[in-house]
Amino acid sequence: MTEIDQIMKGNVTPLFTDLAATATSGRIDCRGYNAILIDVEFSGAANWTFKLQGSLTEHGTYKDLYEQENTGAMTLMSYQCNGSRMFLFKGIPDWVKIVATEDVEGQSVTIKVQPLNAG
């Protein structure tokens, strides 16, 4: 099996359209996948932080997710940006939520996600 044969992608799911204030998404089913691609599109110049929370079960307690660096340090799975971007988090549990925090008021954001398997 080639590396391309091993790559699997889930459906693209819209989470928020023109979100104008801090919010947490509903549960995102990532069973069978080890990563999630997050697409954010701003209506104009903005500053938001996007954080990943996860649970081992669908109705469990969702907690902040961390990834381990090569140095052994732990880093929060979050990304702050001020323009439209796509970013990838790897090493995720079966169930996740996205916390979108508006750092500076002013512009709305549209968010879509796609679970996938990343090497």
Q: What domains are defined for the chain?
A: 16-112 (2.60.120)
CA 71 to chain centre: 24
pTM: 0.87
Q: Which residue has the tokens 């796509």?
A: 86
Strands 63-64 and 78-81: unpaired
Would you give per-residue pLDDT tens digits along the chain (119 residues)?
Answer: 445 445 689 999 999 999 999 999 999 999 999 999 999 999 877 789 999 999 999 999 999 999 988 888 999 999 999 889 999 999 999 999 999 999 988 889 999 999 999 87
Residue 117 token pair? 């398997």
